[in-house]
Amino acid sequence: MSLAAPTPAETVTLLAAVAATAFVATLVWLALALVARIALRASLTLAAANAASALALTLHALRGVAPDALTRWPSDVLAVASFALLGAAVQAMTTRRLSWQTTTLTVAAVATLLLALPDGVDPRWPARIVNGAGAALTLVAGLLAWRQLGAAADGRRAPAALALPLFLLSLLLAARTVETFVNAGSAGDLRVPSAFNIACLWAAFVLVLLQNAALALLVLMRLVSRIERLLQRDPLTDTLNRRAFDQALEQAHAWLQRGRGYALVMIDMDRFKQLNDTLGHAAGDAALRQMVEELQPCVREVDRFGRLGGEEFCVLLPDTGIAGAALVAERMRALVHAAPLHWLEQDWPLSASFGIAEAEPGDANGAAVLARADAALYRAKKQGRNVVQE
Ligand SMILES: Nc1nc2c(ncn2[C@@H]2O[C@H](COP(=O)(O)OP(=O)(O)OP(=O)(O)O)[C@@H](O)[C@H]2O)c(=O)[nH]1
């Protein structure tokens, strides 16, 4: 390929290549949405964005071959729709919300503006409007992605650099708009075999690939986060499962050497077997969920709430001594005791026993602290239940 003397065949071939790439991306996002059911709304919106882009580029390439009524206004509107849909998909992916009103209004406004252009208007005007609107839409999408991706999502930070292709796309579209003003010979038409158009088409080709790859990576990260969460959580109560809690405990214990203490509050619902045997297993499950919900306000962001098994739970309180743990446990005890389980028109009184322990420098590991909290819990049960013991 020579940049000095491009041929019309080159620009049309490149246009077809970008359109074909967008078309393949459409199929991939459709498969992800409909077959794998991954990030359904965002994937479908991205499929629509790529489809609109593929169709817009194909119609653009057919200018002069197919009727103008098909290849001018529809192609321009589809191009703007593809940028608006891309923005909507980025919004759906980063904020989990999808604003159809903004997308529809933007496309309708640009479509009306293009229709309102007088007959025989300088053909660069439609190009300026489409590229200008595209630059603005992709810039807004890029800024949104930059802001949202930096924020913690599912406990994992997605790199804000994933927004970079959107900024580059915005820059490319802005450059195309400016070029129609500063270059007297510009037609604002991608089919014209100029060095500028060839460079733009190559950049568009790379950016379509980069843009889709960045968003696919984002979807993958979301998926991994979701799987990680499923592996760490107890399905009934959404507290940490035993494995994840043990990990958190050993992590906290490692910090003990660096002067950061912690305490444990072990919780065991009283006479749970009796509840299960009388009202049934479903009522038992409901009681466990109710207790966890009631205790959540006592648990800080830094605390770790885990289910050790059956009706036994434990809360890990970093930077907390035995006095603090006693306060928390007493508050929890009162909360559980205050609210009976409402089940099939009857009230079943609930209570729980609590064992607390503080990590000490002599403790070899977290399990040793847990064993002391367990022994304290045993004493609480021996004392007649519904009490806190240390
Ligand atoms: N509904 C329900 N029951 C469970 C679950 N896990 C364990 N259990 C039941 O919890 C009961 C625990 O009984 P026990 O260990 O005797 O304890 P308890 O009846 O609470 O007696 P105390 O702790 O001494 O007050 C058993 O009947 C288990 O089947 C669960 O996920 N859901």
| Residue identifier of the C-alpha nearest atom 3 of ligand 1 | 284
Q: What's phi and psi for 211, nearest 5 deg?
A: -60, -45
* Residue 311 Cα to ligand 1 middle (Å): 6
Could you count the other beta carbons within 10 Å of the beta carbon of residue 45? Answer: 25
Ligand 1: distance of its center to the CA of 308 in Å?
12
Provide the domain limits for residue 354: 242-389
Gap between the Cα atoms of 51 and 32, Å rounded: 15
Which amino acid makes up residue 254?
A: A
Among the candidates 231, 257, 284, a domain finishes at 231
Last residue in a domain, options 186, 210, 231: 231
- For 68-91, write each residue's pLDDT tens digit: 999 999 999 999 999 999 999 998
Q: How far is CA 321 from CA 146, 263, 347, 353, in A?
A: 41, 6, 36, 19
257 and 213 inside one domain? no
Q: What is the predicted pLDDT for the residue at 171?
A: 97
Same domain, 351 and 213: no
Task: Return the pLDDT at 157.
Answer: 60
Query: Residue 158 has what pLDDT?
Result: 66
The pLDDT score that the predictor gives to residue 87 is: 92
pLDDT of residue 1: 46
CA-nearest residue for atom 31, ligand 1, is: 310
Sign of CA pseudo-dihedral 116, 118, 123, 124? negative
Backbone angles phi, psi at 347, to 5 degrees: -105, 130
CATH number, domain with residue 255 = 3.30.70.270
Question: What does the block give as tokens for 298?
Answer: 């006592």
Let me know whether 261 and 225 are in one domain.
no
Amino acid at 101: Q
* Minimal-distance CA residue to ligand 1 atom 6: 310
- If one residue of 268, 276, 341 were mutated to test the ligand 1 pocket, choosing by the most ligand atoms within 8 A of its CB, it would be 276
Interior/surface letters 251-283, b for 16+ CB within 10 angstroms, e for the rest: ebbeebeeeebbbbbbbbbbbbeebbeebeeeb
Q: Which of 389, 235, 381, 246 is nearest to 314 (CA)?
A: 246
Amino acid at 68: D
- pLDDT of the residue at 153: 47
| Known catalytic residue at 293 | no
Do 199 and 281 reside in the same domain of the chain? no
For the chain, residues with pLDDT lower than 50 are: 1-3, 152-155
In the beta sheet, which residues pair with residue 66?
Answer: 63
Quick check: is 237 in a domain? no
In this structure, the answer to whether residues 215 and 259 fall within a common structural domain is: no
Predicted pLDDT of residue 154: 47
